[in-house]
Structure 1
Amino acid sequence: MIHEMSLYEDPFEKIKGGRKSIEVRLYDEKRRKVNVGDAIVFRKLPDKSESLRVVVVGYSVFGSFRDLFMNFDKSKFGHPENISIDDQIKLSRQYYTEDKEKEYGVMGIHIKLAD
């Protein structure tokens, strides 16, 4: 299955450059359909004129961003080593509210660039 998702420039470029291998999303209805072996086409915001294709090599589901970030090295998310977990959560809050986090839980989608 091929999924389409949008990404802002910074995470898009980190994935493209091999500096990010876990994409963070809510574990909502759309993401519950993502499986190992699926492809994701990320389209770069704001105009979506550039895209890249990745393959899902795994995924992790947690009840909170804190639990997700505590279980993986910061570099997997494209974050600097000196960032705190609280700051990682603040970055996620730019996109997802605490209420949505509690409603759906969160998903770390483990990806690699498609050949």
Structure 2
Amino acid sequence: MERQMGLKEEYLDLIRDGKKKVEGRLYDEKRRQINPGDTIVFEGKLKVRVKSIRKYPSFKEMLEREGIERVLPGVHNIEEGVRIYRQFYTEEEEKKYGVVAIEIEPILEE
């Protein structure tokens, strides 16, 4: 199944370059529909294949377990990574839904 998602331009480049291998999101109703093998189209221009999905209770634990370089390349510590996610999701949302690590790989089209 193909799904649409938004993403900042800087992260599109990191995915395209193979540096960002995991996309972290809130595990809300929309993300509960994603399965391994699905295709996600970011910003209508970058297609990726979902390799696997792993659930966590918090962004902090997700970053610790997945490795910050795989999720947020260039970010140097977990606290900074959590602050980035706080720009998008509140602590209350995180506690309500939990989070998901979506392991992805770009589908490079000729």
2:88 maps to 95
Say whether 1:39 aligns with 2:33: no
- Runs of 4+ in structure 1 over 4 Å off: none
Please give the per-residue CA displacement for 1:14-58, whole angstroms capped at 9, x wherever unaligned.
111211010011000000000000000000xxxxxx611000000
**Residue 67 of structure 1 pairs with residue 61 of structure 2:** yes
**1:14 paired to 2:53:** no
Across the aligned residues of Structure 1 and Structure 2, the Cα RMSD in angstroms comes to 1.3
Match of 2:25 in 1: 25
The structure carrying a bigger helix percent of its residues is: 2
Deviations 1:42-91 (A, max 9, x none): 00xxxxxx61100000011011011101102222113236x121111001
State percent identity of aligned pairs. 37
TM-score, normalisation: structure 1: 0.88
Aligned to 1:56: 50
| Structure 2: gaps (5+ residues) | none
TM-score (norm 2): 0.92
Give the AA of the match of 2:100: M
For 1:34 and 1:17, the matched residues in 2 are separated by 23
- Aligned residue pairs: how many? 108
Distance in 1 between residues matched to 2:72 and 2:92, nearest whole Å? 25
Once residues 78 and 100 of structure 1 are traced to their aligned partners in structure 2, the CA distance between those partners, rounded to angstroms, is 20
SS for the counterpart of 1:99 is helix
Residue identity opposite 2:102 in structure 1: I
